[in-house]
Amino acid sequence: MKSLCIDLFKNCSATSLAGTRSSRVLTYRFQRTNYQTHLPSTKLTFSSYSTKTCFATLSAVTSEVEEKQTFNPDKAGELVKELRNSFNSGRTKSYEWRMSQLENIAKMLEEKEKEITEALYKDLSKPEVEAFISEIVTAKSSCNEALKELRQWMIPQKVNTSITTFPSSAEIVSEPLGVVLVIATWNFPFLLSVDPVIGAISAGNAVVLKPSEIAPATSSLLAKLVEEYLDNSAVKVVEGAVPETTALLEQKWDKILYTGSARVGRIVMAAAAKHLTPVILELGGKSPAVVHSDVDLQVAVRRIIAGKWALNNGQACIGVDYIITTKDFAPKLIEALKIELEQFFGKDPMNSKDISRVVSSTQFKRLAKMLDEDKVSDKIVLGGQMDENQLKIAPTILLDIPEESQLMQEEIFGPLMPIVTVETIEDSFDVINSRPKPLAVYVFTNNEQLKKGFVENISSGGMLINDTVLHVSITGLPFGGVGESGMGSYHGKFSFDGFSHKKAVLYRSFSGDSSLRYPPYTPEKQRLLKAVISGDIFSIILALIGWSK
C-alpha cells in the first residue's frame, strides 16, 4: 500500500491533497517544518549552507533529527492506537464530552477570528469579508446547530415492528464509528477542516485532522488551536505533505472524509479499500451555470460573479466552472458581465483588494498553460492579464473555446470562465449530460417548465435555481457529490449521520413465545405460519379455527 500511495502521489499536481514542494519534510509532534525554519522545541535554526564543513556538520544534526522525528507508518500506527484507546474508554461517546468539545470550538471561533482571517490572507490573500462569510461564519453556523440539536440527534429513532415479532419494540441507535480521518483541502482551508471535525465530534468519534500543506499558515494555526482548545487525547492534527499523508492512509480507520481532486480521491479510496474503510469523498468537477434569456440579467450576472470570482477567485469546488447560454443571448450576457465585474473589482482588477490570489506558482502555471493553449487564447473577450510575481490572474471570459481544450476537459479551479453557446437553451441538457456528473448545477430562468426539466433530467450533487453556491448554507440539505464529483454527504445532521453507524436494535420479552416457529411443522402450523407471515387477518382467523381459503 505504501508503494501504491507514493507512486500515485508522485503524479499528483498541486491541485491535489498532496503538495509538490521539493523540500524535505521534518515532523515534530506531528508538525511539519523544513530546513529554512526552526524546530518548535529548540533554538536551532537551519539556514542556507555556504561551506562544505558547515554542510557536513548540519547534515549530521539534521539526519539525526529527521530519523527521530519523521512521521512514518509506525508513528502513524502509534497515533491511531492512542486515539483508539481513548475511544474505547468510552469518554468520547458521552453527551457531556461531545458538548464540551463543541463549546470549545465555538469559543475558539469567537476568540481567534482575527488570527484565522490573517492566516487565510497569508495563504490566499483572501479578503477579510470573504474569509468571514465563507469560512468563519459557516463554521460557526455548523457548530451552533450541533450544539442546539445534538441531544435530539442522539435520541434513538423508534421503528414499528410486525406481528411476526409481537410483542416487541425496535429502534435505530446512532453510535460513533470509532477513530476517523479528515483530510482537508487548501481552497477553504479552515472551513473544510473544521466543519467535518464538528460532525465527527458530534457523532462521538476520536478524530485526526490532516490540513493541507498548500495552505501552510492555516495548517499551522489549526494545529495550534486544536492543541489549545480541544481534548488532545481524542482530537489531533497531523501536518505535512506526501509522506505524512501516505503514512496516515496505511492505517486502519473507521471512516475517512477527503476533500480535493478526483485523482487523489481514487488514491484515498484505494487505501481505504485495503481495510474496508467507508469513505466520504468531496471531489468537485465542472459545475455549469445555464442562463436563459428570460432572466433579470443584472441580478443573474451579479450572482454568477459571486459564485465565481468573489468566491476565492474561482478556486472553489462549487464555483461556476463554465456558462451555457444561447448564441443570440451571449453578447448581452458578456456585456453585462463586463459592466458588473468593473463595478465589483474596478477598471484594473489586478489591483483590487476584494479578490483572492491564485494559491501557488504551480496553480498559476497550470492556469496560464490552459489560457495559452492553441485556439484558446484568441477566444478571450475580457481579461487575460497575469502577474506571476503576485500570483494574480484577472477575471477572464472566453467564448466558444474548443471542446477538446483543457479548459473544457478539466475542472478549471481559477478565474477563467468559458462561455459555451447553444442554439436553444434546451440543448444545454445534452452538454451537461455528456460530461461526468458535476458537484453543482446552476440554472437561471423564470420558465417553470425549464426549471422542472433540469430537476428531473440533470444528475448532480446539488442544484440551485436562480443563484449560485448558497445551497450549501442550508444545513437541512446534504452537501455531497455523485459519480465523479464524489460520494457521501455532510453538513448539519448529515455530518452527524455520516460519522455514525445506524445500529438496528429489536427488543423482545420472554412472554408471547409461540410454538409456530419451532418444529415439528404440522399442516396446521404451516397454514397458520403462512397466514401470520402474509399479514392477512382473515387467513389468520381461518387458520386458527382450522379452515383454509
- Do 102 and 206 have their domain in common? yes
Query: Given the DSSP bridges, would you call strands 440-444 and 288-291 parallel, antiparallel or unpaired?
Result: parallel
d(CA 74, CA 396): 48
What is the CATH number for 275? 3.40.605.10
- Residue 199 belongs to a domain: yes
d(CA 133, CA 386): 27
pLDDT at 57 over 90: no
Bridge partners, residue 508, by sequence: 168
pLDDT at 24: 30
- Do 104 and 177 have their domain in common? yes
- Residue 364 belongs to a domain: yes
- Reading the block at residue 434, the C-alpha cell is 455528456
Summarize the confidence of residues 110-119 as an average pLDDT.
Answer: 98
pLDDT at 42 over 90: no
Q: For residues 538 and 272, which has the higher predicted lDDT (pLDDT)?
A: 272
- Do 225 and 96 have their domain in common? yes
- Do 255 and 302 have their domain in common? no
* Domain extent for 155: 73-284+497-501
- Do 112 and 139 have their domain in common? yes
What's the pLDDT tens digit per position in 205-261?
999 999 999 999 999 999 999 999 999 999 999 999 999 999 999 999 999 999 999
- Residue 544 belongs to a domain: no
Query: Given the DSSP bridges, would you call strands 386-387 and 380-382 parallel, antiparallel or unpaired?
Result: unpaired
pLDDT at 48 over 90: no
Contact (Cβ atoms closer than 8 angstroms) between residue 233 and residue 208: no
Quick one: DSSP state of residue 199?
H
What's the pLDDT tens digit per position in 443-466?
999 999 999 999 999 999 999 999
What's the pLDDT tens digit per position in 300-311?
999 999 999 999
- Do 253 and 315 have their domain in common? no
Summarize the confidence of residues 425-443 as an average pLDDT.
Answer: 97
Summarize the confidence of residues 130-158 as an average pLDDT.
Answer: 97
3-class secondary-structure state, position 178: coil
- Do 297 and 247 have their domain in common? no
d(CA 274, CA 260): 21
Q: Phi, psi at residue 458, to the nearest 5°? A: -110, 125
Summarize the confidence of residues 420-444 as an average pLDDT.
Answer: 97
- Residue 464 belongs to a domain: yes
- Residues whose CB falls within 8 Å of the CB of residue 160, separated by 6 or more in sequence, listed in order: 170
Query: Given the DSSP bridges, would you call strands 26-28 and 31-33 parallel, antiparallel or unpaired?
Result: antiparallel
Contact (Cβ atoms closer than 8 angstroms) between residue 168 and residue 186: no
- Residue 419 belongs to a domain: yes
Q: What is the 3-state secondary structure (H, E, C) of 377-407?
A: HHHEEECCCEECCCCEECCEEEECCCCCCHH
Quick one: DSSP state of residue 134?
I
| 38-59 core/surface letters (b: 16 or more CB in 10 A; e: else) | ebeeeeeebeeeeeeeeeeeee
The distance between the two most distant Cα atoms of the chain, rounded to a whole number of Å, is 104
pLDDT at 60 over 70: no
Identify the band that residue 47 occupies on the pLDDT scale cut at 50, 70 and 90.
very low
pLDDT at 549: 61
pLDDT at 517: 83
- Residue 50 belongs to a domain: no
pLDDT at 102: 98
pLDDT at 33: 36
User: Which of the residue ranges 35-44, 63-72, 102-111, 350-359 would you say has the lowest mean pLDDT?
Assistant: 35-44
pLDDT at 30 over 90: no
Tally of domains within the chain: 2
pLDDT over 70, % of the chain: 87
Reference 121, options 359, 348, 336, 334; nearest CA is 359
- Catalytically active residues, by annotation: 282, 317
- Do 271 and 408 have their domain in common? no
pLDDT at 36 over 50: no
Q: How many CB atoms within 10 Å of residue 286?
A: 23
- Do 220 and 312 have their domain in common? no
Contact (Cβ atoms closer than 8 angstroms) between residue 436 and residue 283: no
- Residue 86 belongs to a domain: yes
pLDDT at 69: 63
Identify the band that residue 272 occupies on the pLDDT scale cut at 50, 70 and 90.
very high
pLDDT at 164: 81
- Reading the block at residue 408, the C-alpha cell is 473544457
pLDDT at 165: 87
- Do 421 and 317 have their domain in common? yes
Among the residues of 178-329, which ranges form H helices? Answer: 191-202, 216-229, 242-249, 262-274, 297-306
Among the residues of 356-463, which ranges form H helices? Answer: 361-372, 406-409, 428-433, 448-457
pLDDT at 13 over 60: no
Summarize the confidence of residues 131-148 as an average pLDDT.
Answer: 97
Summarize the confidence of residues 30-48 as an average pLDDT.
Answer: 33
pLDDT at 110 over 80: yes
d(CA 32, CA 13): 20
What is the CATH number for 402? 3.40.309.10
- Residue 198 belongs to a domain: yes
Reference 436, options 300, 261, 301; nearest CA is 261
- Do 197 and 277 have their domain in common? yes
pLDDT at 4: 43
pLDDT at 512: 82
- The mean pLDDT of the chain is 88
pLDDT at 469: 97
504: enclosing H helix or E strand:
strand 500-508
What does the DSSP assignment read for 203-217? Answer: TT-EEEEE--TTSHH
What's the pLDDT tens digit per position in 480-532?
999 999 999 999 999 999 999 999 999 999 988 888 888 998 888 888 878 87
- Do 167 and 305 have their domain in common? no
The reported pTM is 0.85
pLDDT at 528: 81
Q: Distances from the Cα of 178 to the Cαs of 87, 143, 210, 271, 513, in angstroms?
A: 6, 20, 17, 18, 37
d(CA 101, CA 106): 9
pLDDT at 341: 98
What's the pLDDT tens digit per position in 64-80?
344 446 899 999 999 99
